[in-house]
Homo-oligomer: A and B are copies of this chain.
Amino acid sequence: MDTTERRVVDAVDVDGMLQYLGELVAIPSVTGHETPAQENVAAQLAHCGLEVDVWELDFEELANHPAFSIEVPRQHGLGVVGTLGGEAAGPGRDLIYNGHVDVVPAGDSANWHYDPWQATLADGRIYGRGSADMKGGLCCALYAAKAIHDAQVQLRGKLMVQSVIGEEDGGVGTLAAIMRGYRADGAVVVEPTQLTVAPAQAGALNFRVTVPGHAAHGSMRTEGVSAIEKFGPLYTALMELESERNRDVQDPLYSGYDVPFAICIGRVRGGNWASTVAESLTFEGRFGVAVGEDVLAARRAFEERLFSAAEQDPWLRNHPPQLEWWGGQFEPAHIAADHPVVQTVQSSFGEITGTRATIAGVPYGADMRLLVNEGNTPAVLFGPGDVRKAHQPDEYVPIDDLVATARTLALVALRFCGHKGD
C-alpha cells in the first residue's frame, strides 16, 4: 500500500460503522417494507459525503422487464444510490458496491437468544436479523466510501454505493438501478460470503405447487382425498431429483458444498379444518440451478419429475398438481475468475489481512446475476458474515469480518477507480 492507500484504510471509521449497523438492524426492513430503511441509508450516504440519488420505483415499468420477479406486492419502493468521485482528471474505471436492505422475517423470536430487531454485541459479533444478510456488508460499503471522502482523495472513476430493496424476493431494487442507467466496469455485491471472493452464483427459482384433494368429513376420511397425504410422494420425488442433480458436480468452484444446488421446500399450507379432509395443499420452495445451466432446461427437469410423480398416483394422475414459477427467479451467473474486479478484490484483501482470499462460487441466488446478465456489469460477491447464519435465529456478523471488508472495499475502490495522484 502506498501512503494514500494507507491513509484511506486508516480513515475507516470502525466505531461509526458498528454504530450505524446497529441503527440499521433496528429498522425491521422485512422484504416489502423497506422504505424507512432506504430513507435512513439515503441520509447516511449524504452524511458520508456522497451525492445521493433517491427515486420512486415505477413498478409498472419494471414489471415489463423480462428479468422482473417479485413475491411481496408493493405500492411503493425507493431506489437509493450514492456516488463518490469521478472528479479527478484522467481515465478511471467505474465501480458499484451493491447491498440490499431487505431482510427475511425473524420467525419465532422465542428461537432467538437476542432481540432480532436490536443489534447486540457479544463474543466479537453483532447479532440481529440482517446483520450478515446484508446490512453488515452495506455498512462496509458506506464506510469504505466515507473513508475515501474523509481522506479527501479524489477518485478518477466513479464509486457508486447502491442500497437496494427486494433482493430476497427477486431483485427488483437492483433491476431498477440498472434500468435507471447505473452500470460500471466492475461491481462488488456485499453478500455474506465469509470473505470468500465469489465470481459465480448458482441460480434459484422459486416455485409454488398446489396439490388438489377432495374434502370430506374427517370421520369418513376415505370418502375424501387428502391433499396432505398426496404431498408426500411429490416431496419425495423432488428430494430424489435434488439428490441426482447434486451427485456429480464437476465445477471446482462448488466442490466445497454437500448440496450446492439445493431444492428447499420452505413453506406448506394444507387444509383449513382439523376434522375435514384437506381439499388443497400448497407448497413453496426454491430450486437451485447450477452455474452455466440453462434455466429453461432446469425448469423442464423439475416439471418432468413433479408430473411423473403425479402420474404414479391414481388421484393425482387425474387431478394433477399445479406448478407456478413464482417470485424470485434468480438465474445463475459467473464472470471470469481472472477478471480485474476479481483480481483487485483478491489482492486488496490479501494486503489488508495478510491472508490469501478463497475463490469459490456461492450456492445461492443474488443480485450479482442482474448486474452481470442485465446490467452488463462484471460483478463479484464478497462480504462479511456467513450465509449459513443468515435466515436463521441468532444471525450474526463477526466484527473482524466487518473491519476487513470495509478496509478491503476502500482499497479496492482506490485501485479499481484510480485516484488523483496515483
Contacts and interface: CB of A to CB of B under 8 A. Distances in A.
Given A219-B264, A220-B387, A268-B228, A285 B279 contact: no
B220 A262 contact: yes
A280 interface: yes
A372 interface: no
B274 A222 contact: no
Given A268-B268, A270-B268, A387 B275 contact: no
Given A226-B265, A266-B271, A269-B269, A216 B277 contact: no
A274 B215 CA distance: 26
Given A226-B265, A228-B268, A265-B228, A219 B275 contact: no
Contact of A273 (B235, B267, B272, B279): B267
Q: Is the interface of A mostly helix, strand, loop or mixed?
A: mixed
Given A266-B271, A268-B270, A219 B363 contact: yes
A320 interface: no
A214 B271 contact: no
Interface string A214-254: 11111111111010110010010000000000000000000
B232 A218 contact: no
B277 A222 contact: no
Contacts of A105: 272-273
Interface of A: 71, 104-105, 107-108, 111, 133, 168, 202, 204, 206-208, 214-224, 226, 228-229, 232, 235, 257-259, 262, 264-281, 283-286, 288, 327-328, 362-365, 387-388, 390-393
